[in-house]
């Protein structure tokens, strides 16, 4: 089992099949909250659905297309953070994340996104990391803004959320900018 310790309370662990029950429990317990911004809740109705999701994650990780992890807070799974896609030809990773509702407001996602960004540049030798969020999703947008990502633009009707489209804001940071910021 691979665990990346971020600080004394927050870690990332590569997702495993035996995480399915906890991930589903967290999803189900935060369903109404998560549904505001995430399009997949109607497809996640059972532990079996979560197992199928994890199988897909493991397959894609085996093909070196992404990296999916669970977020641990004080040893408990509280969310998911991933490089949803790693585009090796363009040397770019795309970060996605979500937390259970009761774990919001602890700075967890900011710490996780910072750690994933550093990992992308220091260990994967990528050139760019992007985070995209719905224009109205202020909490999610505040993460790349706090980390000094550059707002690069928006994509109109980027995502279908159950009964309407939402526009996305695209944030990016280059390896050279990240290194300059940390020095």
Average pLDDT over the chain, rounded to whole? 95
- For the chain, the domains span 3-182
Tokens of 68: 């999916």
Is 130:94 a contact under the CB 8 Å cutoff? yes
Right CATH for 3-182 from 3.40.50.1220, 3.30.750.24, 3.40.630.30, 3.90.79.10? 3.40.630.30
pLDDT digits (tens, 9 = 90+) for 40-92: 989 999 999 999 999 999 999 999 999 999 999 999 999 999 999 999 999 99
Residue 18 is classified by DSSP as: G
Confidence of residue 7 (pLDDT cuts 50, 70, 90): very high
Handedness of CA 68, 72, 78, 81 (dihedral sign): negative
Is the pLDDT at 1 greater than 70, yes or no? Answer: no
Tell how far CA 84 is from the center of its chain. 7
Decide: helix, strand or coil at residue 168: strand
Q: Which residues are 10's β-sheet partners?
A: 73
Phi, psi dihedrals of residue 126, rounded to the nearest 5°: -80, 165
């Amino acid at each position: 089992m691979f665990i990346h310790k971020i600080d004394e309370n927050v870690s990332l662990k590569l997702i495993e099949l035996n995480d399915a029950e906890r991930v589903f429990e967290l999803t189900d317990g935060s369903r109404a909250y998560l549904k505001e911004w995430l399009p997949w809740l109607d497809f996640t109705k059972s532990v079996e659905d979560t197992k199928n999701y994890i199988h897909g994650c493991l397959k894609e990780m085996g093909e070196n297309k992404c990296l999916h992890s669970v977020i641990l807070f004080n040893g408990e799974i509280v969310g998911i953070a991933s490089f949803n896609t790693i585009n090796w030809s363009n040397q770019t990773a795309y970060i996605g994340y979500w937390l259970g509702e009761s774990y919001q407001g602890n700075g967890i996602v900011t710490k996780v996104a910072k750690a994933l960004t550093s990992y992308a540049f220091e260990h994967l030798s990528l050139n760019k990391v992007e985070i995209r969020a719905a224009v109205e999703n202020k909490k999610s947008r505040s993460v790349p803004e706090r980390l000094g990502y550059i707002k690069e633009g928006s994509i109109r009707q980027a995502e279908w959320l159950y009964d309407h489209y939402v526009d996305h804001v695209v944030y990016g940071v280059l390896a050279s900018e990240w290194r300059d910021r940390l020095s």
